[in-house]
C-alpha cells in the first residue's frame, strides 16, 4: 500500500510564533530604553551656549566681523564691521575700502594665535554669534577680540557694553575715524 500524500501542511502550533514575537518585543524594549537615555537636543535644536575653539592653523578671517574656525563660522557678537568693498571717505574726500581695513585689523589682532569663542545663538545667515578671545601663547596673553576691534575703531558697537569703546575710538581718531574719516554710506543714519 502506498503512503498517503498530504497536499496541505498542518497549521503551525501557537508555540512557533513565540520565538519571533519575543525577539521583536526585546528589540522594541531595548530601543525604547536607549531612546530615553539619548540626546535631548534632536532635530535642529542646539544648546543655548557652546564653546568653540580652533588652533592658529585653523583660524581664517572672513571679513571684519567673521571668523572661520576650522569647519565652523562665527560672527563676533555685539559689533558691526563694514563689508569688504564698502567705501569710506577720508577727510580729503578720497575713498578707501574700509571693509578690507577692518578685516586686516582683525587679522592683526589675531596675530597668528588660536581662538576660543563662547557662542550664543545664530544670526540671520546661520553663523554662530560669539564672544571671542585669542588663546594665550608663549609671547602674549589672550585678548578679547570683540572689544579690541571696536576699541581700535574698525567696527561699530551694537551692544551697550561696547558703546563707550566706540566713542573713545571716534574721539581719538582710530581706525575708521582716522584723519576725520566718515562712516560708510549704509551707516550714516545709524550713528
pTM: 0.69
Half-sphere exposure of 142 (CA within 13 A, CB side): 14
Who's near 44: CB < 8 A, 6+ residues apart? none
> Is position 32 within any domain?
no
Say how many Å lie between the first and final Cα of the chain, rounded. Answer: 110
> Is position 40 within any domain?
no
> Is position 113 within any domain?
yes
| CATH number of the domain residue 58 falls in | 2.40.50.90
Question: pLDDT (tens digit, 9 = 90+) per residue, 99-128?
Answer: 898 999 999 999 899 999 999 999 888 899
> Is position 118 within any domain?
yes
Count of domains observed in the chain: 1
- Confidence label for 18 from pLDDT (cuts 50, 70 and 90): low
Map residue 129 onto helix, strand or coil.
strand
Q: Which of 166, 143, 164, 160 is nearest to 81 (CA)?
A: 166
Domain of residue 67 covers 50-183
> Is position 117 within any domain?
yes
> Is position 189 within any domain?
no
Amino acid at each position: 500500500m502506498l503512503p498517503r500524500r498530504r497536499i496541505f501542511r498542518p497549521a503551525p502550533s501557537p508555540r512557533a510564533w513565540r520565538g519571533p514575537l519575543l525577539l521583536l518585543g526585546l528589540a522594541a524594549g531595548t530601543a525604547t530604553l536607549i531612546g530615553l537615555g539619548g540626546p535631548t537636543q534632536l532635530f535642529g535644536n542646539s544648546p543655548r551656549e557652546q564653546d568653540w575653539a580652533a588652533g592658529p592653523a585653523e583660524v581664517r578671517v572672513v571679513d571684519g566681523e567673521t571668523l572661520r574656525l576650522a569647519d565652523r563660522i562665527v560672527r563676533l557678537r555685539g559689533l558691526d564691521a563694514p563689508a569688504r568693498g564698502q567705501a569710506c571717505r577720508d577727510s580729503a574726500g578720497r575713498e578707501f575700502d574700509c571693509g578690507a581695513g577692518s578685516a586686516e585689523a582683525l587679522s592683526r589682532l589675531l596675530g597668528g594665535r588660536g581662538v576660543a569663542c563662547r557662542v550664543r545663538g545664530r544670526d540671520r545667515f546661520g553663523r554662530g554669534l560669539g564672544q571671542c578671545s585669542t588663546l594665550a601663547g608663549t609671547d602674549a596673553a589672550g585678548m578679547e577680540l570683540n572689544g579690541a576691534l571696536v576699541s581700535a575703531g574698525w567696527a561699530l558697537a551694537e551692544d551697550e557694553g561696547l558703546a563707550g569703546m566706540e566713542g573713545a575710538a571716534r574721539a581719538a581718531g582710530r581706525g575708521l575715524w582716522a584723519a576725520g574719516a566718515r562712516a560708510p554710506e549704509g551707516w550714516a543714519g545709524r550713528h
